[in-house]
């Protein structure tokens, strides 16, 4: 019940964010990466499969959706559907080959195949090469509602992202999600119970890839471009960082992690300038050029100090507080009556 309340408050805050002065495009960028991190967390946090190639699904779908909207002239909703299908299709190909191996071998296969897609995007004429796809039109939703206005696009994209997040929550709490958790905890025992674990892992992989593709499609629609950065291995590293910082295996952890990482990458220069003017230390002014260093420090601190991530650590502290309060509470044991005392004597 408490989680539902927090999710409701978060949804209300997101709906009111543009009215409170938040820049809609920046909030949508955070939400796109949050959905990307949630999709990745569905695979690694609940199934135990660490992929180093999730950028292939995110960026590949962005290219597919952008090309469809710019060259073929399809509507935005059709572009997002095509991008999602493209992410799922790439995920099916990669997953079919990768799930034959486990551990680091699985991760390296996903990385190798993702880098192959990167070089395809670099060489293919349809992707724009090093320049990427530029000036992707927003078009009209269902051919009627124009999305050129940032505020209109914000609420349309917010509805899609909330629906995708609800799908992830439902998946985690479904019988299918319980089987994925069982595979993560003890795959041999899950096999002994009669489950085809390879099939379930492939289904989880494709679902995660499709949702990552949806995030990449929305990102291409919102920002109006798709570049090689979206399919580079560094993007896969970024989503891993978001998930670990927020909290691996938690539903809301990737949301917090995406906010921290994207805000640092986007606003670190402004934060550094403010600190330099407030403290008089000129070094803070160069923080904008040290995004990689700062995110690396955050990652190290996360691994060394709070391995559960932001949300995971807060949940642990809350659990300890509730347990301590329960232990300190007076025990409501009824007093023995005089008759019972005499009988006991």
Q: Say how far apart CA 216 and CA 212 lie, in whole Å.
A: 6
Give me the residue label for tokens 């904008």: 288
pLDDT, one tens digit per residue, over 260-272 is: 888 887 777 667 6
Residue with tokens 């962005």, as numbered in its chain: 62
Short-list 225, 221, 209, 218, CA closest to 117: 209
Label residue 340 exposed, middle or buried (CB < 10 Å: 0-12, 13-18, 19+).
Answer: exposed
Q: What does DSSP assign to residue 340?
A: H
Bridge partners of 141, per DSSP, are 145
Kindly report, residue by residue over 292-309, the tens digit of the pLDDT.
777 778 778 877 877 788
pTM: 0.88
Phi, psi of 337 (to 5 degrees): -75, 170
Q: Mean pLDDT of all residues in the chain?
A: 86
Alpha helices in 69-195 (DSSP H): 76-98, 104-123, 150-172, 175-185, 187-192
Residue among 48, 277, 86, 90 at smallest CA distance from 182: 48
**Contact at 8 Å (CB) between 164 and 99?**
no
Using alpha carbons, select from 250, 261, 255, 244 the residue that is nearest to residue 307. Answer: 244
**pLDDT tens digits, 53-105:** 999 999 999 999 999 999 999 999 999 999 999 999 999 999 999 998 888 99
CA distance 134 to 66: 9
> What pLDDT is attached to residue 264?
82
Question: In the predicted model, is pLDDT for residue 311 greater than 70?
Answer: yes
Longest dimension (CA), the chain: 96
pLDDT tens digit string along 124-157?
888 888 888 998 999 899 888 899 999 999 999 9
């Amino acid at each position: 019940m408490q989680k539902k309340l927090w999710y409701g408050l978060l949804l209300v805050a997101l709906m009111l964010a543009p009215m409170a002065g938040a820049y809609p495009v920046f909030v949508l960028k955070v939400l796109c990466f949050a959905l990307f991190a949630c999709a990745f967390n569905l695979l690694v946090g609940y199934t135990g499969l660490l992929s180093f190639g999730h950028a292939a699904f995110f960026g590949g779908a962005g290219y597919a959706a952008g090309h469809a909207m710019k060259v073929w002239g399809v509507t935005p909703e059709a572009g997002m559907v095509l991008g999602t299908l493209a992410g799922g299709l790439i995920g099916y190909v990669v997953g079919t080959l990768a799930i034959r191996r486990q551990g680091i071998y699985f991760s390296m296969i996903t990385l190798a195949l993702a880098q192959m897609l990167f070089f395809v995007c670099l060489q293919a004429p349809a992707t724009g090469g090093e320049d990427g796809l530029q000036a992707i039109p927003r078009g009209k939703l269902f051919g009627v509602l124009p999305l050129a206005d940032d505020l209109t696009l914000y609420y349309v994209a917010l509805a899609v992202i909330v629906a995708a997040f609800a799908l992830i929550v439902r998946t985690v709490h479904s019988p299918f999600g319980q089987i994925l958790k069982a595979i993560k905890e003890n795959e041999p025992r899950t096999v002994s119970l009669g489950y085809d674990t390879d099939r379930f892992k492939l289904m989880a992989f494709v679902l995660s890839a499709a949702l990552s593709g949806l995030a990449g499609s929305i990102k291409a629609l919102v920002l109006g471009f798709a570049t090689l950065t979206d399919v580079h291995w560094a993007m896969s590293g970024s989503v891993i960082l978001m998930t670990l910082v927020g909290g691996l295996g938690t539903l809301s952890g990737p949301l917090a992690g995406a906010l921290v990482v994207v805000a640092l990458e986007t606003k670190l220069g402004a934060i550094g300038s403010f600190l330099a003017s407030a403290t008089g230390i000129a070094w803070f002014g160069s923080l904008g050029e040290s995004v990689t260093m700062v995110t690396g420090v955050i990652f190290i601190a996360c691994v060394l100090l709070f391995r559960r991530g932001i949300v995971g650590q807060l949940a642990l502290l809350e659990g300890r507080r509730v347990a301590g309060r329960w232990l300190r509470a007076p025990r409501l044991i009824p007093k023995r009556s005089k008759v019972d005392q005499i009988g006991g004597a």
